[in-house]
Amino acid sequence: MRESFARAMSAMYREEVPQYGTLLDIVAQVNERILRAAEGASAMPRAERARLGVERHGASRVGSARELGLLRRMFAILGMRPVGYYDLSVAGVPVHSTAFRPTRPDALARNPFRLFTSLLRLELIQDPALRALASRHLEAREIFSPEALRLTEEFEARGGFHSAQAEAFVRELVRTFRWHARATVPAHTYKRLHEAHRLVADVVCFPGPHINHLTPRTLDIDAVQQEMPRRGIAAKDVIEGPPRRKVPILLRQTSFKALAEPVRFDEDGAPMGAHTARFGEVEQRGIALTPKGRALYDELLGRAGGGGAPSDPRAYEARLQQVFQAFPDDLETIRRQGLGYFEYSRLSEEKPAGSAAADLDALVAAGVVQARPIVYEDFLPVSAAGIFQSNLGDAARQAYAAADARAAFERALGCPVLDEFALYESQQAASIQRCLGRPGEPFAERRE
């Protein structure tokens, strides 16, 4: 179901935003070129290569606790759980977010579709009258079809779907995220909400939580970035996240500017104004970092000047490259220093004698055990904020109080978010367990 949902979302977005189709073409070409080079193919495990062509993440924003809670239940049906908490108010954006995604390695290998999902924080709207108005509009709307709601309850009650129900559910869920060119409010209300923050208008004024971008994964983001303008796509100046390296870490992203789309308003139905909500993005993923690796990443990014829009992109890139020399750029050092997560697997049946059998580093050194980087499956808070700022945010940052809103977010969600570090950690630990075996036992079988 997740696979067909991802496919249908991609088809829908391709129709809605033709430039997305162009971006997919560029990414497919670049990826193929890299995989054809012998080095690229051997560097990438087969399972990962297989998922690359269908791998996407999307983003959506909802307006109420009820909407978020229902999305959590619906995505659970697709095997996607909320992972991580992102507080975007630190970047002056009145939302907080999580990422719905599969968590098990076999599910990720099958189709890793992720949806970055943000909840509007009405309490951050200063004007009480405007806040009440927004809240009234949100309470009055229903973003889910009756069939989607009914099927969700049925799945939960029976623990499964017949195939016709599964098809209907996917269809209804995809429809939830489609674009509506008609606002649900009069133009003057849109204008007031837009003045509070563009994002407030984007969430409150439409019948649904339209998907605002869908992002393919490339193996060489710099090549895609270069190709975009040649194909008529206005790419942003700077790739966000870490600099280009031999060993990619976390993720790097770049995007193209939001489309200005005509919107019709309630009172007269005449097209007027343009709403800039939807854009395009591409990303390159690298190794998942441990808390120690993440702390080093954060420190270096801060030293290079953070994730904000730099005034001189080339100078920023050079500084980033320079500062990140302090982050080891070969897998073995990253592994030995505990900066990244690895999946261990046995290359040979032969069990080294004596104490070496229980020493992972010795087994790796002896070539008995192989360590492969675990791909980062999540998002960058700083990157997300940077994207918000450049596509949607106003230049004058509003300094929202950095109140601890996580508890409220999890109440709305209906459960705590999962800790991404714990997920990577347990994948790594399970792989070590399989390699070392329990004392007195032969090496365990790999599950895949």
- Give the footprint of ligand OOG on this chain (CB under 6 A): 59, 61, 116, 118, 212, 253, 281, 379, 383-384, 387-388
User: Which one of the spans 79-87, 224-232, 281-289, 333-341 is the region binding Ni ion (CB under 5 A)?
Assistant: 281-289
- Residue environment code for 182-201, b if the CB has 16+ CB neighbours within 10 A, otherwise e: ebbbebebbebbbebbbbbb
384 is in the binding site of which of Ni ion, ligand OOG, none (Cβ under 5 to 8 A by kind)?
ligand OOG
| d(C-alpha 112, C-alpha 53), whole Å | 11
Report in angstroms how near the CB of residue 252 gets to Ni ion at its nearest: 12
Burial label, 442 (beta-carbon count in 10 A; 0-12, 13-18, 19+)? exposed
388 is in the binding site of which of ligand OOG, Ni ion, none (Cβ under 5 to 8 A by kind)?
ligand OOG
| Closest by Cα among 29, 53, 31, 373 to 219 | 31
424 is in the binding site of which of Ni ion, ligand OOG, none (Cβ under 5 to 8 A by kind)?
none
379 is in the binding site of which of Ni ion, ligand OOG, none (Cβ under 5 to 8 A by kind)?
ligand OOG
204-223 binders of Ni ion (CB under 5 A): 215
Report in angstroms how near the CB of residue 213 gets to Ni ion at its nearest: 6
**Amino acid residing at 291:** P
Cβ 331 vs Cβ 286: under 8 Å? no
Q: Compare residues 288 and 339 and give the one whose CB is closer to Ni ion.
A: 288
| d(C-alpha 176, C-alpha 155), whole Å | 18
Q: Compare residues 122 and 375 and give the one whose CB is closer to Ni ion.
A: 375
Cβ 159 vs Cβ 93: under 8 Å? no
Q: Compare residues 199 and 263 and give the one whose CB is closer to ligand OOG.
A: 199
**Summary count for the chain: helices (H), strands (E):** 19, 11
61 is in the binding site of which of ligand OOG, Ni ion, none (Cβ under 5 to 8 A by kind)?
ligand OOG
H or E stretch including 215? strand 213-216
Cβ 388 vs Cβ 88: under 8 Å? yes
Q: Compare residues 176 and 212 and give the one whose CB is closer to ligand OOG.
A: 212
118 is in the binding site of which of Ni ion, ligand OOG, none (Cβ under 5 to 8 A by kind)?
ligand OOG
| Closest by Cα among 65, 101, 67 to 82 | 101
Q: Compare residues 184 and 215 and give the one whose CB is closer to Ni ion.
A: 215
User: Which one of the spans 194-202, 280-288, 309-317, 338-346 is the region binding Ni ion (CB under 5 A)?
Assistant: 280-288
Three-state secondary structure call for residue 211: coil
Report in angstroms how near the CB of residue 434 gets to ligand OOG at its nearest: 33
Q: Compare residues 215 and 225 and give the one whose CB is closer to Ni ion.
A: 215
Q: Compare residues 26 and 59 and give the one whose CB is closer to ligand OOG.
A: 59
User: Of all residues in the chain, what percent are helix, strand and coil, respectively (each to 5)?
Assistant: 50, 15, 35
Q: Compare residues 94 and 102 and give the one whose CB is closer to ligand OOG.
A: 94
What six digits make up the tokens of 242?
A: 């870490």
Size of the site for Ni ion (CB under 5 A): 2
Report in angstroms how near the CB of residue 380 gets to ligand OOG at its nearest: 6
H or E stretch including 120? strand 114-120
Q: Which parts of this chain interact with Ni ion (CB under 5 A)?
A: 215, 281
